[in-house]
Chain A
Amino acid sequence: MNDERFERLLRGFELPEPDPRLDARVIAGAEEWLVRARTRGTVAGVARAVGEAFGFGYVNFLIDFVTETDAEYDVELA
């Protein structure tokens, strides 16, 4: 049997199915993380709105300025 035929023979086999318990574990874990991330996002949004309402908008502005401004790296070679 040449290489090509042997490769075809190997490719003719399917891959085994993972245990359904693994599927359940991964999906449940992922959903939990996504819920947590969404809750964090909502809480941050509410905090921003409250901050704006009470006249602390400049705090949001400073946080955005620090977190969203790209750092610049300037390396000078001697």
Chain B
Amino acid sequence: MARDEVTEFDELYRTYRTRLHQYALSLTREREAAEDAVHDAFLGWVRQVASGRAPSQPAPYLYASVRNRCLDRLRRRPEVALEESHVELLAAPAGDEERIALQRSLNRLLLALPGEQREVVVLRTWHDMGFAAIAALQDIPVNTAIARYHYGLAKLRKELDKNE
């Protein structure tokens, strides 16, 4: 096997693994399902490359692939109930108790958001994705993506204020 093919894939994987993993977790609220989606999306990419049909931009392909796989999973099996979900969408530095407590609250609140709002908040906040790209991914008008983001953010803030 050519070393450069493996290195290229390794770089691609290192670039997107953390973000796609968090994105999948936010969609499924389940670790195993999220990991399967990320695994299958990357292997789907390799198959495309191996057959000479590599998409010109990896990011849109990988995000759409993870999303489709997660939605497909949710169609077959309903979303895990909030009380049964133990996934972490955020991480706080070890030892910083105040930050860890805030991270726990935010994590629960994020997981409790309606799926379509959670998705936009996650993509916009931690993936630096523009509203046009989010709208294209969700197949919705840009204004709907913006509205979902602001509703989601407002709900998070309100609930966090209530908790404090």
A19 to B39 Cα, complex, angstroms: 12
Q: How far is the CB of B16 from chain A (nearest CB, A)?
A: 11
Tell me the minimal C-beta distance from A37 to chain B in angstroms: 3
A16 touches B91 (CB 8 A): yes
Contact of B90 among A1, A16, A35, A37 (CB under 8 A): A16
* Chain B residue contacts of A63, Cβ below 8 A: none
In contact, A31 and B39 (Cβ under 8 angstroms): no
State whether A34 touches B5 (Cβ < 8 A).
yes
Which residues of A from 4 to 63 have beta carbons under 8 Å from B?
6-7, 10-11, 13-19, 22-23, 25-27, 29-31, 33-38
Contact of A10 with B1 in the complex, beta carbons under 8 Å: no
Pair B39/A29 contact, Cβ less than 8 Å: yes
Q: Which residues of A contact B93 (CB under 8 A)?
A: 14
Q: Within 8 Å of chain B (Cβ to Cβ): is A3?
A: yes
Residues of A within 8 A of B13 (CB): 23, 26-27, 30
Report the Cα distance A69→B39, complex, angstroms: 35
B6 at the interface (CB under 8 A from A): yes
How many interface residues does B have (CB within 8 Å)? 39
Within the complex, the shortest CB–CB distance from A21 to chain B, in Å, comes to 8
Shortest A50–chain B CB gap in Å is 23
Q: In chain A, what residue has the closest Cβ to B23?
A: A15
Is the CB–CB distance between B38 and A18 below 8 Å? Answer: yes
Q: Do B125 and A7 touch across chains, with their CB atoms under 8 A apart?
A: yes
Per the bound structure, the CA–CA distance linking A14 and B22 in Å amounts to: 10
The listed residue (B10, B42, B88, B153) touching A16 by CB distance below 8 A is B88
B residues 118-138 with Cβ under 8 Å of A?
Answer: 121, 125-126
Do the beta carbons of A34 and B9 come within 8 Å of each other? yes
Contacts A29-B39, A31-B1; is A15 near B9 (CB within 8 Å)?
Answer: no
Q: Within the assembled complex, what's the spacing in Å between the Cα atoms of A46 and B25?
A: 45
Question: For A25, what are the chain B residues with a Cβ–Cβ distance below 8 Å?
Answer: 35, 39
Other 7 A-B pairs with CB < 8 A, given A10-B121, A19-B31, A30-B9:
A13-B91, A13-B103, A17-B18, A18-B18, A34-B9, A35-B1, A37-B49
Nearest 8 CB-CB pairs, A to B? A37-B50, A13-B90, A18-B21, A14-B91, A33-B46, A15-B22, A16-B91, A30-B46
- CB<8 Å pairs between A and B, sample of 22: A3-B153, A6-B153, A10-B126, A13-B91, A13-B92, A14-B93, A15-B22, A15-B91, A16-B25, A18-B38, A19-B31, A22-B39, A26-B39, A27-B10, A29-B46, A30-B42, A33-B46, A33-B50, A34-B46, A34-B50, A37-B49, A37-B50
